[in-house]
Amino acid sequence: MSLENVSPVIIDVEAGEAFVDMGAMHARSSVERGIKFLPDRSAVPNGKPYWIVWVTIERREDGPYYAGVTACEMTIDREARRGYKLLPEHVNRLDKSLKRHIIVDHMDAKSKRVLADFLKGHDIGMWNRSSDKLKQDLEVEM
């Protein structure tokens, strides 16, 4: 297994935006820098919600595809310089992504839509070659 094929996609839930930030591989993304993370959600009552989505790309004869896609929640209160995330969950989900698991069904509908649009916009061919499970789990009723 290699981390070369993994990209962390960060979803800003409130802004409805997704972007790749390789700093997230070491908990140093633009949204994480300068934040002290706590394992207790109630310690960050005014936190802004984010998702870190670990996206693993694999290759087949017909081309690359999104093989593993797993999401972890994170909450950040920039003003208080505090955040909530469960580090073991982030490590486990990264591992699951590397092992080609799809774990996105716990995401809110808006974030699922943002992620699906981001993945399609990045490379529609990769989206089309990806598993039906990924497409079904990110399908959102309008």
- Kindly state whether residue 25 falls inside one of the protein's structural domains: yes
Q: In this predicted structure, what is the pLDDT of residue 27?
A: 87
Q: In this predicted structure, what is the pLDDT of residue 2?
A: 62
Residues with pLDDT less than 50, the chain: 142
pTM: 0.94
Q: In this predicted structure, what is the pLDDT of residue 141?
A: 57
Distance of CA 27 to CAs 41, 108, 130, Å? 18, 23, 27
Q: Are strands 36-38 and 6-12 parallel, antiparallel or unpaired?
A: unpaired
- Kindly state whether residue 55 falls inside one of the protein's structural domains: yes
- Kindly state whether residue 60 falls inside one of the protein's structural domains: yes
Distance CA 53, CA 97 (A): 9
Q: In this predicted structure, what is the pLDDT of residue 134?
A: 97
Give yes or no for a contact between 50 and 73, defined as CB atoms under 8 angstroms apart: yes
Q: In this predicted structure, what is the pLDDT of residue 142?
A: 44
- Kindly state whether residue 142 falls inside one of the protein's structural domains: no
CA nearest neighbour of 17 among 50, 48, 44, 46: 50
**Domain count of the fold of the chain:** 1
Q: In this predicted structure, what is the pLDDT of residue 130?
A: 97
- Kindly state whether residue 141 falls inside one of the protein's structural domains: no
Distance CA 42, CA 56 (A): 32
Tell me which residue range forms the domain holding 64: 3-136
